[in-house]
Structure 1
Amino acid sequence: MDPVAALEEIAFLLERDRASAYKSKAFRRAAEIIRPLDAEEVAARVGDGRLKRTAGIGDSTLAVIAQAVEGGVPARLAELRAKAGLSPEGARTGLRAQLRGDLHSHTDWSDGTTSLETMARAAEALDLEYLAVTDHSPSLRVANGLSAERLTAQRHAIAEATAGAGGIRLLRGIEVDIMLDGTLDQTPEMLDGLDVVVASVHSKLRTEAPEMTKRMLRAIGDPHTNVLGHCTGRLVEGARGTRPPSTFDAQPVFEACAEHGVAVEINSRPERQDPPDELIAVALEAGCLFSIDSDAHAPGHLTFLELGAARATANGVPAERIVTTWPVERLLEWSRDRSA
């Protein structure tokens, strides 16, 4: 097995389990150290002890490299794959195997932990064909939201990162705040230049249901909106504690999504699990499209797609109504159609 791939997958799976960031960084750092070396050189350095004496290579990472060089799946990786419900070979099955992309991810341009390039490599390693980079909009200052100037710069950086990537295509996107009056937190001119717009409520989550419903309906009606992100804003577990779902009139909200071709996000983060099952049922009955997204803030969070796919399957969501199962050209035809 390729030792770089083994180290990176272990980092992914540790992040998926929300282990200490120090652990995942150690495996990712080891991968960067040996990445420039060819297979023969890595094997030689393992054999003569040079790798053991290399700064940044510890006992755990050395064991993974040595076992990978021998041709097998390292024991640490096999253990993490089993814990994640993957086959010993890491194969993806069911609906997850049909997912081609992810429309909600964050980088160190806002509140993510890693670069565009690192997220691109992670997505490609997980067999995705496209990844939308959707860093936050300006009003979410706590998340280092992007001003129009920074968003313009990021669009150029995405183009450069895509040109240097392998088989993955990075899409220009944003997770734009739905403001109190239902407008989107970025200028129409800036939104016109993006491939994907995820619109989410991040503020005043305890607003009374009638006002929240009006707020969401106006955002859904904006021709730039493609995906309604984590629609209730709830938290069901995790370090940030729990938070009850926002209240709104689900029937007209999801009927509006169906009417305007806005996909309802099935947010795969384990602390969100948003929408709740009962709202997925309402959206399904209303005829909505869906988008299974990771809301990744680190490379390993992309593996949360497994959890989102399992929830969609459990709730009977057909694959053909999940836009992230579509090839990229069909996806872009859909996403650009609203703003045309």
Structure 2
Amino acid sequence: MTDPRDPVADLRRIAFLLERAHESTYRVRAFRTAAAALRGKDPDEIAHLRTSGELAKLRGVGEVTARCVAESLDGEVPVYLRRLEATEGTPLDEAADDLRSALRGDCHTHTDASDGGSPLHEMAETAITLGHEYLVVTDHSPRLTVANGLSAERLRAQLRQVADLNTQLSEHGSTFRVLTGIEVDILDDGALDQDPDLLGELDLVVASVHSKLRMPHDEMTERMLTAIANPHVDVLGHCTGRMVTGRRKRPESEFDARRIFDACAEHGVAVEINSRPERLDPPKRLLRLAVEAGCEFSIDTDAHAPGQMDWLDHGCTRAAECGVPAARVRNTRPVDALLAR
């Protein structure tokens, strides 16, 4: 007889590949919900549910996910998973592949504390599976109510949650670390949308413009320059705010890119290379300008779900095409060096 596989791991892997492939949310949710329903149950208990016919009746488990569980218990790779893995895509070219291999973590991710789809522990587990050494959690700040931005009180609660998770990981012999962070809104006047003392406690601050993206050129430039000069800012997130695909297509914000990138280089603020397929921000012409300005970079996924954390390939490909040196990409550095800024 073939030894059984881990059905929960197989369900999570299917959800991960569906997310990465931009499949519909409801389909991803079906597999994640089934995995959550079976999580913590030992293999014998799951096998009993199957043989008794109760598996598909379990809340959160449907006919398709039950079939995948049965195949896993039989020691087979579920057919659904085999199909997804057979169409995973083509490899990066050599330069982009080398850069992707050098990345040690992701500095821009979201959990269900704001507008992400999965809890902190799920994002951390996926990061570990991907070989990351660290993950920076950067949920939104309070003014972005549409994204359930975190008040100071809720952010402090998340800091305690991160500390508890890191303790658990350490007790199990893991060297992986979750780092505290925020994607803080750059307000109209360039101020940051969170208590300054609290920002000072975080490991990493990504500052982004999310409102009044059509602000006049000169005003937007001054707004961004003010934020970049703030000593709490580590990374300038998706600088143009553009959307190039999907229902929410929008043009780039207008600003003096040369002044912005010169300021980033002067103040030690990394320019984010956002890997989301609908953003791919900054555009290549601006990314090349940032390289010429001597900027440092952070190649991030801006992931809102575990499967999206494997989108780093997109950012690495564009970075390689624009001549971004690996030595100037901050998340190629070990955690202590990342935090040494």
Q: Taking structure 2 as the reference length, what is the TM-score of the superposition?
A: 0.88
Q: Which amino acid aligns with 2:327?
A: E
Partner of 2:100: 96
**Corresponding residue to 2:66 among 62, 66, 70:** 62
**CA-to-aligned-CA distance 1:204-243 (integer Å, 9 cap, x gap):** 111122221111111111111100000000001123x210
Of 33-42 and 17-26, deviating more is 33-42
**CA-to-aligned-CA distance 1:49-99 (integer Å, 9 cap, x gap):** 664564533332234334434545433223323433268xxxx95433332
Confirm whether residue 175 of structure 1 aligns to residue 183 of structure 2: yes
Task: Classify 1:84/1:317 alpha carbon distance in 2 versus 1 (closer, same or farther; 3 Å).
Answer: farther
Q: Give 1:314 deviation, angstroms.
A: 2.6
* Contact preservation (8 Å) 1:13, 1:303: no
Of 163-172 and 98-107, deviating more is 163-172
> Secondary structure of 1:333's match?
coil
Whole-Å Cα distance in 2 between the matches of residues 270 and 212 of structure 1?
25
Q: CA RMSD in A?
A: 2.4
Q: Which amino acid aligns with 1:263?
A: A
Confirm whether residue 215 of structure 1 aligns to residue 223 of structure 2: yes
Whole-Å Cα distance in 2 between the matches of residues 278 and 59 of structure 1?
49
Whole-Å Cα distance in 1 between the matches of residues 41 and 71 of structure 2?
17
Task: Classify 1:81/1:288 alpha carbon distance in 2 versus 1 (closer, same or farther; 3 Å).
Answer: farther
* Contact preservation (8 Å) 1:268, 1:294: yes
Matches within 5 A, 1:121-136: 121-136=125-140
Partner of 1:332: 339
Task: Classify 1:315/1:67 alpha carbon distance in 2 versus 1 (closer, same or farther; 3 Å).
Answer: farther
Partner of 1:194: 202
**CA-to-aligned-CA distance 1:244-299 (integer Å, 9 cap, x gap):** 00111111211111122211101111111110111110111111111111111222
Whole-Å Cα distance in 1 between the matches of residues 59 and 139 of structure 2?
34
Partner of 2:14: 10
Q: Give 1:22 deviation, angstroms.
A: 2.0
Whole-Å Cα distance in 1 between the matches of residues 101 and 70 of structure 2?
30
Number of corresponding residues = 329
Matches within 5 A, 1:64-83: 64-83=68-87
Whole-Å Cα distance in 2 between the matches of residues 317 and 76 of structure 1?
38
Of 193-202 and 153-162, deviating more is 153-162
Whole-Å Cα distance in 2 between the matches of residues 181 and 278 of structure 1?
27
Partner of 1:304: 311
> Secondary structure of 1:161's match?
helix
Whole-Å Cα distance in 2 between the matches of residues 93 and 283 of structure 1?
22
Whole-Å Cα distance in 1 between the matches of residues 98 and 86 of structure 2?
16
Of 149-158 and 70-79, deviating more is 70-79
> Secondary structure of 1:170's match?
strand
Of 20-29 and 69-78, deviating more is 69-78
Amino-acid identity (%) = 55
* Contact preservation (8 Å) 2:261, 2:295: yes
**Corresponding residue to 1:234 among 222, 233, 242:** 242
**CA-to-aligned-CA distance 1:145-175 (integer Å, 9 cap, x gap):** 2222222222112212332346432111111
> Secondary structure of 2:109's match?
coil
Q: Give 1:197 deviation, angstroms.
A: 0.2
Partner of 2:157: 153
Whole-Å Cα distance in 1 between the matches of residues 166 and 53 of structure 2?
37
Structure 1: gaps spanning 5 or more residues? 335-340
Q: Which amino acid aligns with 1:264?
A: V
Whole-Å Cα distance in 2 between the matches of residues 281 and 102 of structure 1?
22
Partner of 1:314: 321
